[in-house]
């Protein structure tokens, strides 16, 4: 992994058209500003990780759950 040190208001440029600015550093939180072309999708990695985890599901676990949900029948 490439590691760069940046101060507040300093930037990095990726592939010539994506610009990331360190807007604010407070405690353990860094605020980033991102300028990128409209077709570049930007997501927090937690979201992508959660969707990848969802893609691991197995039909047998779902079947167990479905049976149980029905069994409750409240």
Partner 1 sequence: MGKTEKSIKFNSTRFGEVEIPERNIIHAPGGIIGFAGIERYALLDPSGGESLFLWLQAVDEPDLAFIVTDPMMFVPEYAIDATEPDIEKLGIGEKKPPALFVMVTVPAGNPDNITANLLAPLLYFEEDNVIHQIVLEKTEWGLKHPLVAKPDESGGVE
Pairing of strands 18-26, 29-35: antiparallel
**Distance between CA 30 and CA 9 in Å, rounded?**
11
Q: Which residue's CB is nearer to partner 1, number 25 or number 62?
A: 62
CA dihedral over 12, 33, 22, 8, signed as positive or negative: positive
Shortest reach from residue 9's CB to partner 1, in Å: 25
Binding site for partner 1 (CB under 8 A): 41, 43, 46-48, 50-59, 61-62, 64-66, 68-69
Shortest reach from residue 4's CB to partner 1, in Å: 25
């Amino acid at each position: 992994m490439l590691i760069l040190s940046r101060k507040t208001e300093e930037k990095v440029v990726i592939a010539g058209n994506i610009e990331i600015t360190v807007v604010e550093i407070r405690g353990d939180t860094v605020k980033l500003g991102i300028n990128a072309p409209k077709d570049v999708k930007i997501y927090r990695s937690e979201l992508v990780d959660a969707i990848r985890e969802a893609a691991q599901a197995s039909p047998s676990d779902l079947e167990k759950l479905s049976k149980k949900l029905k069994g409750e029948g409240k």
